[in-house]
Structures are given as C-alpha cells and as structure tokens.
Structure 1
Amino acid sequence: MSAHQAAPPPFDPELRLALAALSAEARELVTPANLAAWQERDAAARPAPTADDLSADGRFEVREFRVPGPPGGPEVTLVGARPSGLAGPLPLLYYMHGGGMIAGNAWSVLPRVLREWALPLGLAVLSVAYRLAPRARYPEPLEDCYAGLAWAAAHAADLDIDADRIVVGGKSAGGGLAAALALLARDRGGPRLLGQLLLCPMLDDRGTTFSSHQMTGLGLWDLTSNTTAWQALLGDRHGADDVPPYAAPSRATDLSGLPPAYIDVGSAEIFRDEDVAYADAIWRAGGRAELHVWPGAFHGFDGFAPQAALTRDARDTRTRWLRRLLDQSRTSDS
C-alpha cells in the first residue's frame, strides 16, 4: 500500500480536540506565494518577552549577549538565563527555537524551557537568535548557531557554566539545527557536547519518506509547508544529491562519535519516519540514542495541548532523560 492510499494513524483524542479548536488561519499551509505574509503573521503571534518577563519575579537571572558571528557574518545574539542564586559552574542547555527555519525567535521559547528544565534541573540556558530563511540561506543560520556555541564554550568561566556539560537542543527546525551542530562540532573538533536533545527534529529536505506523504493535509505541518521551508533555506540546492549533512542531517552517512541523543516525535506527523531512521542510524553506528514515538501526536502537539496526558508524559520523559544524562556526567567525573 502506498503512502497516498494508507490511512494515517489516528490522533490522540485529547490532541484531536485541541487541533480542531485551532483557527483556519493557524492551520494554513505555507507556500512560496504566502510565505512573506505567513512570516509576518507568525511574528505577530509570537511576541518576544522582555528580560523582566523572563526573570519571572526574580526566579531567573537574564542577560543578552552579542557575540562575534561567523566569518563575514553579523554578530549573534544569545539570550541567557539561569535560576537565580544558584552557584555554578552550571550545565548548559544551548537551545535553538523552532519555526521551520523561517519563523520563531530566541525569546518566546524561553519561559517554557526555563520552567520545565532550567529550574528543576539547575541548568543555565542560552537561546540563539539565528538568522531566518529565505533572507538567510544555508549555511548562515547554522553558522550563527555554531559561532554562539564556540563563544559560549570559550567563555565558560565568565558565564559560570561547565564547558564539559553542554547539551545542544531544539524543537522542529531547532532540533534539526541541534543535530547539525553535533555533527559540525564533531567534524571541526569544536566543543565536546554532553548530549543532544532533538524534539520532533526537521532533518530531511527530500520529502520522500512514507510519513511525509501519509500525513499530507493533516496536522499543523505537512509536506507543502515543509517543502516551502526547505526551499527557503536551500534555494536551488533543495533536493540535490550534494546537500551536505550539516544542512539536512538525514543525509549523514557517518553518525559515529556523536553525543548521546534523545529523539522524540509523534506517530501522526510528517517527521516520524526520518526521526525514527535517524535514531536507528545512530544505533547502527554504535552510538547512544533514546527514541520515543508518541502515539497519535501531531507535530508540535505539546505546545498546543499543554495539559493533555500525552504532553505530560512527553514532558516528564524528556526531563528524566536530561536528569539521567547530567547525573551520569557527575558520576563519571567523580
């Protein structure tokens, strides 16, 4: 049975209700024709919280850093936050926001990241304001992220972070960037990473997996929107045989020597098959990966149904993995 004939996995009942409650505008597909208008509307819907907002009545210390960018590129803004009064050096979660490489910002993702991980786990966080497509094309967004990562590792003492306990992470496009950073840091001999937290990562520009066609027209991000986003990032290189793995990590043929990965994805979303395949490729290369496929979950489900039982399970599982990773690093250091 082809993907075009196959019935999609059913949505989780709570998530189906959350999806049905969204407006038609929120579910609009992204096309080259409406991309600019879609970006404008998305930016208006994701206002960036101020430093005062992020401090949450003093629970977090918040700072912005403007650091040297990649060669020939502009400075990179990093938004830093850590639990107030916590003695360091702290582990660092170096985080890339989602948005299909065409949307999102470094500020609006932080309240949730700080609440769910920084506070309970005693983490410092740096969120990266990388340039967006199509104004910036590969490799510019990735090089922004790498420049910020290299700066953070080199200034660990000033930041009061532990350069040996850096986890890269992100969701959707941010998860793809985190996976690419792990590859790039390995191949450039860059900062040695403790782990990679890949939440429904966007990894493959080709659009040839079974799930990418099975989920056409369903959920919040399908093949039409995904193709538009990849074309915005890669331009004429989209789908070509020579797209590098740092642009689309699913293209990687060598996944050895990478830090432990946490990968999760929904069973009812476009990225399911590429994310499962990426975990499998890490295992085949002798690496460590923990994979979770949330049954009946659409792309980005946890942001739209924060109180659903499946969201709570996903949130708890991610936190347990991070805690276990950090605990193991403490044990190995002692």
Structure 2
Amino acid sequence: MAVPPEIRVHPELVPFLEKLPPYSDPYEDIAATRERFHALLKMRAADRSGVRSKRYDVPRPDGSALTVEVYWPEDTGDASSAAPLPAVLHFHGGGYAIGRSLPGQDRTALELCRSLRAVTIAVEYRLAPEHRYPAGVEDCYLALEWTAAQAVELGVDPERIAVTGKSAGGGLSAAVALMARDRGGPAITYQSMCIPDLDDRVADGPIPADTADTSPNPMVNTWRSVRAAWRHYLPEGYPPEGTTPDPYSSPARASDLSGLPPAYIQVCDLDPLRDAGLAYARRLMDAGVPVTVRNVPGAWHGFELYAPETRVAKESTAHWTGHLRAALYPGTVA
C-alpha cells in the first residue's frame, strides 16, 4: 500500500513502511503477542561474539526474585580482579507489557557491551497487565541498587553507572533517575532515553490527523498503541480521584527536574511520543540539567527494527550510543 503524502516518511524508509502488515491490538491477547515476539527472536539468533553473560536472581522485599542478566566483554576474565568497567542498566521496551528477550540473547545489551566496553545489565522487570505500576519500575530501581552493591563482584565502577532504554524502557530510565535522586540512592552518571514513553497524558484528547495513524499500513507505534499501553500499565482507578499520577509512574508529571543526571533524548518525527519527549528535554534544560536532543526526521517509533541496514538507522544508533560512550568514558568523542 502506498503511504499517504501527508505522512512525511523519510525516503529511505518508505519501502519498509509500505510492506508492514496492518495494525493489530497487541493487548487483545497479550500471551499470544509475547509468543510471537519470542518466536521472532528465535528465528534471528543474536550475535554473542566477544561477550559472556550470567543470570542472577535478585531478592525482592517480598521474597520473590528479580532476574537480571549481566553481560561482560569476553576478555575481562575474572570480573572481581579486572580493572572496573562502567555499567549500563538496560530496561527493554515493549509498552511495559512485552519485549523481554530470551536468556542471554538481549541484542541491545550485547551490542552495548561490545561497542561501549561496559558491563551491561538487562533487567527482566515484571510486566503489565499482570503486574501493574509500581511493580516494573520498583524492579528497575532494585536492579540499580543491586548493581551498586555488587560493584566489586561485577567488576563495575560505581561512579560510572548509566541507565538506558527505548520506549517504555526510556520512561523507566527517567523514573529510576528520579527515584535515585529522591531516595538518595546510587549515583547515576547518565540517563539515555530513546523514543521514551514519559507522559500518561498522551492517552487523552483527540488523535492528531497528521500522524501515522492515518496510514493504511500503520504497524508502527500509534496513538492507539500508546493509549492501550498506559491503560494496561497503570492500575485501574489510578490515580485516585482528585489526585495526579506520581512522577515515578509518569516522569513528565514531576514538578521538579533539578539535580538529575545529564540526559540524552532521541525522538522520531512520526512518533506520537515525540512531543512529550521534546517537552521533557526542554524542562530538563530549564532545570539546569545538561541534555542532548535528537529528532530522527521522517522516522516512526522503533523504525530500526524494520530497517536496521538503512543509513538513517545506523546513524541513529551511532548517535545515541556515541553519546552514552562519551558519558561513560569522559574525554572521548561521541
């Protein structure tokens, strides 16, 4: 199907958008959606070259366990005796409900470990709708505390811990940075957020006419997807009448953004999350937080998954990972 002219798609990406299947509601049968996602992962084996990993069970206050997978550069040997490396906590995307990778197969964590030379921790936080807010974000914060507490065993420099994620993972990164500041938790040196889902208010109001929702083939993150994600992530009846969501559920609700770590925010032109991401970046700047912002013109939410070999996808990835590298290794060029 042809893309309507009012949808300003990057010329390099037009063929990929035209080939995508029609939109379907991922929450209609969340178990089936997760099965399809994992089946796709099994068809495309991740490149584990140069990386080793180990799974850990981190005890929660209620006695249950949070699973994290730690990835190290293969040549580091005994982590506890090697020179400490920076650490990156990676919170996967997936609308707070899907996106968990197969054991040892987190593609983003693997690539960050290799390209950044950093210990990368993939956090298997609890998923909605079975586990609604605050389960997922509390898991992510617990992973931060655990990483800092186990720094010597993991071979991690506790002064160089960053958080990163895309989409829901970007929102969780922002929330964890707020929690660390407010709770006096472990220091975060950098928060890197790509296409972050930051504001539950995007679920309100009319759907703009000039978005990918008007496309005949909108298998991209649409306003319908965003609204469904928030409905399933936040508890029913939340927040109580007369109150607003707290900032850890919806970071854009935070009244004070001062004192947060330097940030990177990448948005995409055709993403319904774009304006909320740009607004959050501006508010961080106004609060005195150093921020790097990049908009990918003509791209939709998660376009790299569909067109990874395009120039625009490679440039996008190089940009955000380069700035993360520079933050973890001060003095290097992004």
RMSD: 2.5
* TM-score, length of structure 1 as denominator length: 0.86
Q: Give the match for residue 4 of structure 1.
A: none
Q: Please give the per-residue CA displacement for 1:42-92, whole angstroms capped at 9, x wherever unaligned.
A: 343344999xx6643xx11210111112x2262110111111113430100
Query: d(CA) in 2 for partners of 1:304 and 1:228?
Result: 22
**Amino acid across the alignment from 2:311:** A
Q: Give the match for residue 19 of structure 2.
A: 21
Contact 1:211 1:270 in 2 (8 A): no
Contact 2:203 2:230 in 1 (8 A): no
**Amino acid across the alignment from 2:8:** P
Alpha-carbon distance change, 159 to 286 in structure 1, aligned in 2, over 3 angstroms:
same
- State yes or no: 1:68 paired with 2:64: no
SS state of the match for residue 141, structure 2? helix
Alpha-carbon distance change, 194 to 97 in structure 1, aligned in 2, over 3 angstroms:
same
Q: Give the match for residue 298 of structure 2.
A: 296
Q: Give the match for residue 180 of structure 1.
A: 175
Q: Report sequence identity in percent.
A: 36
Q: Which runs of 5+ in 1 are unaligned?
A: 1-6
1:110 shift after superposition:
2.3
- State yes or no: 1:159 paired with 2:154: yes
What aligned pairs does 1:1-334 form with structure 2 within 5 A after superposition?
A: 9-24=7-22, 27-30=23-26, 33-47=28-42, 55-56=48-49, 59-69=50-60, 71-72=61-62, 74-86=64-76, 87-107=82-102, 110-115=106-111, 117-207=112-202, 213=208, 214-215=210-211, 216-218=213-215, 219=218, 220-237=220-237, 241-328=243-330
Higher deviation after alignment, 117-126 or 285-294: 117-126
Alpha-carbon distance change, 110 to 34 in structure 1, aligned in 2, over 3 angstroms:
closer
SS state of the match for residue 277, structure 1? helix
**Amino acid across the alignment from 1:257:** G
* TM-score, length of structure 2 as denominator length: 0.86
1:212 shift after superposition:
6.0
Alpha-carbon distance change, 310 to 152 in structure 1, aligned in 2, over 3 angstroms:
same
Aligned residues: 315
**Amino acid across the alignment from 2:236:** D
1:257 shift after superposition:
0.6
Q: Please give the per-residue CA displacement for 1:236-290, whole angstroms capped at 9, x wherever unaligned.
A: 2457742111001111111111111110010111110000001000001011110
Alpha-carbon distance change, 234 to 196 in structure 1, aligned in 2, over 3 angstroms:
same
Alpha-carbon distance change, 138 to 12 in structure 1, aligned in 2, over 3 angstroms:
same
Query: d(CA) in 1 for partners of 2:34 and 2:100?
Result: 12
1:207 shift after superposition:
1.7
Alpha-carbon distance change, 73 to 289 in structure 1, aligned in 2, over 3 angstroms:
farther
SS state of the match for residue 254, structure 1? coil
1:303 shift after superposition:
1.6
SS state of the match for residue 170, structure 2? helix
Query: d(CA) in 2 for partners of 1:72 and 1:97?
Result: 24
Query: d(CA) in 1 for partners of 2:330 and 2:139?
Result: 30
**Amino acid across the alignment from 1:14:** E
Query: d(CA) in 2 for partners of 1:292 and 1:29?
Result: 29
